[in-house]
Structure 1
């Protein structure tokens, strides 16, 4: 018996599952082999540790619920398929039914129809504009042009029975569209705001908010302002946040904007943004009602004056407080 086999037999020795001859043989080996004796001692310690652990009795209510669930599962489990049913299923899968063939023809026809309707050439601007209008709500005066083939997805069948020669389904067609329009148009601003909040690419978000900041006349719709405030307080890119703050300067100072600026002063890790926020308060103090500088604003400015790690912010906050308190 080789050495490795002796080691494997140590577990059987502990459980008293060896024959008398095997037991005598391994005991003689243990007298000569320190390595196996050490291995046996470790196994004995391990078993002693396991046996010292208390057995946790399961809760009686838990056992009762488990048994009830087991009985319910056994009672409601589907019956096993008989040999005859299995044979019928196997035979039916071998022979192609007529409905399957008709379904294949209908699917192929549907593909041609979708290709003809959706992948129309770009020399049909009216159809392309109609395709873009439901999503973007663009007026016909905006010049639109297709920038690639449409993508068809989310096909939904309402009547898949093609035995009568007809099929009823719907699908979503997404087509890239190029648009050239006035930056002042509210609908253009809404598209840029949507890109600012939903685009994953930070470069696209930055270009969108930069374009919004170039327009000096504030849009009448609060949706644009809310989008800029959301970007200012939540966007992970400091460049996007800075451009959003720049774009917000064209709006009138109100409570929403005040709360956004306080958020920047309190939580933004970028010192340049905190500087712009405190400068915004400084430029607003002469144009706004004194009620704008309430206790909350004074408290934050006082904290920044004392504890901000940027020396300029501390000095600027002190100056704004002195002007407000006059």
Structure 2
């Protein structure tokens, strides 16, 4: 290794020690080196002082996923600054604008319908949607008829004798929307988009916009979906923080309990944990804490669960003695 690599290795080792990520054997070797290596000890003291100045909040362990989430969030803010967007309205105005060909642009507003045309007698036309989706209907509410384009048409069936045919095609539209976030239809539009296959940066922007509107059912559903399914830990973190504010709702607690048990990111699990321990009168939450969180890989969660249970035991014992 060159000198720069050795310095970086020492920095990573010190951070791992500060955040209790070293094995017992590695900790002993680290502490022994502190005693025998003055320069290494000085570097450790500098890191330790900086660590004390920086508030960790409720996430005492920094994982690779958490670092990625912070990095994504920082990149998002830098992009916003570079673009000099003056307001959220300005952001909404340019949400779907981009210098790509129309062939790819229409993907942001596609509503697919299977249309059966049965032409006979008086040339009656029967239109059959593939599915009755209320969210698709909400999306189409923002689209003018003149903006619709037919794409990907396929001729499925033809009866040359009767003239009956069946055609399948897609309707596509590229629409600019000038609106306000207080409009629940706009919230529903953004919530639906957040669950679609859009880029990481767009989903981060969307969840950041919608996090304060979790009382709207469509937004709440989208946040719940993102917390349990989004691959980006930054999106899941913001979703968890938003849902934590409405954890009085039983359905929201169900989602938080699933995240607490299954999310690979410790920061997301800590956020869900902090919300759930505000409801220790919930039997389902107590069961999850006892059976799962007590063995969580995150030291903070394990210690908090142990403290909570240690505080509860004397109270239970005292109540039993009174009953006797």
- TM over 0.5, yes or no? no
Bigger RCO (CA 8 Å, 6+ sep): 2
Larger radius of gyration: 1
